Amino acid sequence: MSFIGAMHGTNDTGMGLSGLPGAGGVKYGSHVIKAPFPDPYRSPFPGDQLGLADRCTSFIEDYLFKTICPPSDIAAIFLKLCKAIAEM
């Protein structure tokens, strides 16, 4: 699992994990689940931003894990606590 808007590098593995569109329209990482990241400046949800982290966690637990990919199928969660310059 990776997060929408994340950047994990520009090699094939990093692009597959990244939550950004591929260069030249190339599709990467169809096997990687993308989850919303609780960024209050670029919120994945409309409306009030209070409880944004809880809303993202609920989306993962109540939607992704129950409809798309059970937790037992998740091998790793890639999380960067600080975004790099390229991820603006």
Per-residue confidence (pLDDT) for residue 28, from 0 to 100: 58
Q: In this predicted model, which residue has the larger pLDDT, 42 or 28? A: 42
Q: Is the pLDDT of residue 11 over 60?
A: yes
Query: 61-87, pLDDT tens digit by residue?
Result: 999 999 999 999 998 888 776 665 555
User: Alpha-carbon distance 18 to 70, whole Å?
Assistant: 21
Phi, psi of 44 (to 5 degrees): -80, -10
At 20, is the pLDDT very low, low, confident or very high (cuts 50, 70, 90)?
Answer: low
Radius of gyration of the CA atoms of the chain, in A: 13
Taking residues 22-38, what's their average pLDDT?
72
Per-residue confidence (pLDDT) for residue 67, from 0 to 100: 94
User: Alpha-carbon distance 70 to 88, whole Å?
Assistant: 31
CB 18 within 8 Å of CB 2: yes
Say whether pTM exceeds 0.75.
Answer: no
Per-residue confidence (pLDDT) for residue 60, from 0 to 100: 94
